[in-house]
Amino acid sequence: MTYNALKAVSLTHVRYQRGDQLGHFLAWVSLVPVFISLGGFVSHFIFRRELQSMFFALGLVISQFINEFIKKSVQQARPETCALLEMCDSHGWPSSHSQYMFFFAVYFTLLTCKGIGGIWNVRTKWAALFLPWSLAVLTMYSRVYLGYHTVAQVLAGASLGILLGGLWFWVVNSMLFCYFPLIEESPFGRFFYVKDTSHISDVLKFEYDNARAARNTMAARKAMASKSS
């Protein structure tokens, strides 16, 4: 009986040389896009349901489709190390990991600098911006160090991610933003409690104050009900 060749799911299939501690660390760094997508955006949709984050995630998805289209059109091979990594059947230019992370870093930076959502105050804003850019650079370096891409391929991915991230931010906040109230009031928005808090200067304080006010109101009602009984 003949068997077809097996192929691993490449989503979390990252290889490094045994005993290489730096390679081990960079292999985990290489999985940051997966953590952001599944741990970040999925959990954010479940618990927050913010329109800005939904369009942020949509832009990343569109960016990845563009990446796959370019890869299939250019069909540039990965470096020779692809044989050890079992990745020779896929194309390498531009790097999707680099494109994803630099798109994320640019969009996150623009959101933060514009004060949209009001999550970061002035004192923590610049500290918050350090993390996505450092992760983007580390992810780009990891793809070269682990042998998945050439330097040219990760630089192309980073450049495309920066371009698409800035362009998508402009599209969302200059052309689509005016439709956010319509989405909020649509059957979809009302069913899933979709909201936009871009107009609130400090979302964390706003939610904290409203939660306390609601609790105090409930306590007052209970006190009045107990007195009347």
| Total count of residues recorded for the chain | 229
Amino acid 74 reads V
Between 58 and 75, the more confident residue is: 58
pTM: 0.84
Among the listed residues 149, 157, 51, the one whose alpha carbon sits nearest the alpha carbon of residue 105? 157
CA distance 115 to 16: 40
CA distance 48 to 106: 22
Amino acid 12 reads T
Q: Are 63 and 102 in contact (CB under 8 A)?
A: no
* DSSP calls for 53-95: HHHHHHHHHHHHHHHHHHHHHH-PPPPTTHHHHT-TTS--SS-
Between 10 and 68, the more confident residue is: 68
CA distance 224 to 229: 9
Amino acid 92 reads G
Which tens digit of pLDDT belongs to each residue from 21-63? 888 888 888 888 888 887 788 887 888 888 888 899 999 999 9
